[in-house]
Amino acid sequence: MRSLYIKFAVTTITIMIVSGLLAFVFSNSYYQYTLKPQNDEKNTKIALEIASYVNANEDIHLHRYLENVSTIGYQLLLVDASGEETFFGAPFRDTSLPSDTKLTVLGGDVYHGMKQFPQETFVTGFFANELSNTIGVPLETNGQKYALFLRPDIKLLFNEMHILFGWLLALTLIISIVLVLIGAKYLVNPISKLTKATKELSEGNFSLQLDIARKDEIGELATSFTHMARQLAKLDEMKTEFISNITHDIQSPLANLKGYANLLEKEETTAAEKKTYLSIIHSEIERLSRLTKQLLLLASLDRNEGLIEKKRFNVSEQLKEVIHRHQWIINERGMMIRYSLPDVYMSGDPSLLTNVWENLLMNAIKYNQDHGTIDISIQETETTVKVQIQDTGIGLKGHEVDRIFERFYRVDTSRTSAIEGTGLGLSIVSSIVKLHDGAIDIESFIDEGTTIVIQLPKL
């Protein structure tokens, strides 16, 4: 029994057979304890009525009368005092009956053969065409004593019904088996499709299509599966893009380094040129180092390496330190920085959160106008800390705002092309804030500036 289809079909058919057998056992007990005595009683009443009718009408011809009774659906045996037996109606299959029984009925007793018929015969006892399966009543007419044994002629009464019930049972069985086989296919088919799709997925085919349009649990599973395949496809695409971006971002400073190193080696290079080339080499090395540091941080954030070592610390203090570290560049660009940072304590990973503030402040400086302004403020509620960093810089368009947290995304305009960057800063910010169960809000207008609000839970 390897396939689910066979398992399902065999289980259902077994259930049908077992329930059929149980139903037979229950209906048999019902027959033995309720119907059989009722049947006996009903036929005893009929036999006694026949006897009393014969008794009351001495002028009727007994044999002819009993012949008539047999034609309306009874099998009869008449035994007279001398032991002579006359059968009426369809013959009994088995005519054995102890002579004692006949004598006791002749003597005036009623014989309840139906009620006493052995239980082992189950419900089929009802159909047993045997003389012992009759009702025997004493009968007296014209001073003569008889014993009359009677049972309904089931064949005559129920022949058509028999066939009908037989067909009904056979058809029910056949139809239900066919339906079980079809139903099982209907149930199992989508699972086979899903299995096939899983294999395809494991072989790297993320663009598979599942034609399972159902609204039940299997339909839900298929929908989730397709969703998962799409997500995997997206991840795969992102991975490829990520690798090509990294390669490009590492390749271009390396090419620059090589080029300027070659120029340095040339004899005709003047001292002033050498100085310029060396400073370019330094800045390229700086760029590479920054990029690798950011990549390492992103990779460890992705792995979620138990990084988040929370402890209680003063966020305002931390923000002030970050500002002080960048004060020289703010001064250099003639910017003004305003901040109001009263002491606020929270629980979080200080070294990760420093990264957040550094990236945001650097962006507020890099993408600001010369002589622009930066405003930093902090607010706390009972459960959260909100840090707002606002600049008067170049701003962003709506569709750019939607993408700035993507890895390697950089707005590419004439105004930003000269600005150094890797496109990784904000994705690092977003990962760290997510690790702290926080949220980021951003509002930006072209040429007016950008406001970023980071909301973090205090605990």
Options 100-108, 206-214, 360-368, 372-380: segment touching ligand ADP (CB under 6 A): 360-368
By CB under 6 A, name the one of 138, 372, 393, 438 that touches ligand ADP.
393
For residues 190 and 425, which CB has a smaller minimum distance to ligand ADP in the complex? 425
Hey, which residues between 361 and 390 contact ligand ADP (CB under 6 A)? 363-364, 367
Smallest separation, CB 436 to ligand ADP (Å): 18
By CB under 6 A, name the one of 422, 436, 455, 456 that touches ligand ADP.
422
**Is there binding between residue 411 and ligand ADP (CB under 6 A)?**
yes
**Is there binding between residue 392 and ligand ADP (CB under 6 A)?**
no
**Is there binding between residue 404 and ligand ADP (CB under 6 A)?**
yes
**Is there binding between residue 423 and ligand ADP (CB under 6 A)?**
yes
Smallest separation, CB 449 to ligand ADP (Å): 7
For residues 284 and 391, which CB has a smaller minimum distance to ligand ADP in the complex? 391
For residues 176 and 416, which CB has a smaller minimum distance to ligand ADP in the complex? 416
Smallest separation, CB 223 to ligand ADP (Å): 34
**Is there binding between residue 396 and ligand ADP (CB under 6 A)?**
yes
Give pairs for 190-197: CB < 8 Å, separation 24+.
Answer: 190/214, 190/218, 190/219, 190/222, 191/4, 191/218, 193/222, 194/218, 194/221, 194/222, 194/225, 197/225, 197/229
Options 30-38, 150-158, 197-205, 415-423: segment touching ligand ADP (CB under 6 A): 415-423
**Is there binding between residue 394 and ligand ADP (CB under 6 A)?**
yes
Smallest separation, CB 398 to ligand ADP (Å): 13
Q: Which residues partner with 377 through β-bridges?
A: 340, 388
The CA distance from 60 to 67, in Å, is: 12
For residues 197 and 424, which CB has a smaller minimum distance to ligand ADP in the complex? 424
Options 56-64, 298-306, 331-339, 409-417: segment touching ligand ADP (CB under 6 A): 409-417
For residues 134 and 359, which CB has a smaller minimum distance to ligand ADP in the complex? 359
**Is there binding between residue 149 and ligand ADP (CB under 6 A)?**
no
Q: Please, are residues 298 and 424 in contact by the beta-carbon 8 Å criterion?
A: yes
For residues 54 and 404, which CB has a smaller minimum distance to ligand ADP in the complex? 404
> Nearest-CB residue to ligand ADP?
421
Q: Which residues partner with 135 through β-bridges?
A: 112, 150
**Is there binding between residue 359 and ligand ADP (CB under 6 A)?**
yes
Which residue from 331, 316, 326, 323 is spatially nearest to 380, judged by alpha carbons? Answer: 316
Question: What is the 3 state secondary structure string of the chain?
Answer: CCCHHHHHHHHHHHHHHHHHHHHHHHHHHHHHHHHHHHHHHHHHHHHHHHHHHHHHCCCCCHHHHHHHHHHCCEEEEEEECCCCEEEECCCCCECCCCHHHHHHHHCCCCEEHHHHCCHHHHHHHHHCCECCCCEEEEEEECCEEEEEEEEECHHHHHHHHHHHHHHHHHHHHHHHHHHHHHHHHHHHHHHHHHHHHHHHHHCCCCCCCCCCCCCCHHHHHHHHHHHHHHHHHHHHHHHHHHHHHHHHHHHHHHHHHHHHHHHHHCCCCCHHHHHHHHHHHHHHHHHHHHHHHHHHHHHHHHHCCCCCCCEEEEHHHHHHHHHHHCHHHHHHCCCEEEEECCCCEEEECHHHHHHHHHHHHHHHHHCCCCCCEEEEEEEECCCEEEEEEEECCCCCCHHHHCCCCCCCCCCCCCCCCCCCCCCCHHHHHHHHHHHCCCEEEEEEECCCEEEEEEEEECC
**Is there binding between residue 356 and ligand ADP (CB under 6 A)?**
no
Options 128-136, 308-316, 333-341, 421-429: segment touching ligand ADP (CB under 6 A): 421-429
For residues 136 and 449, which CB has a smaller minimum distance to ligand ADP in the complex? 449
**Is there binding between residue 102 and ligand ADP (CB under 6 A)?**
no
For residues 101 and 363, which CB has a smaller minimum distance to ligand ADP in the complex? 363
Smallest separation, CB 458 to ligand ADP (Å): 26
For residues 114 and 411, which CB has a smaller minimum distance to ligand ADP in the complex? 411
**Is there binding between residue 141 and ligand ADP (CB under 6 A)?**
no
For residues 253 and 423, which CB has a smaller minimum distance to ligand ADP in the complex? 423
**Is there binding between residue 450 and ligand ADP (CB under 6 A)?**
yes
Q: Which positions lie near ligand ADP, rule CB under 6 A?
A: 359, 363-364, 367, 391, 393-396, 404, 409-411, 416, 421-427, 450
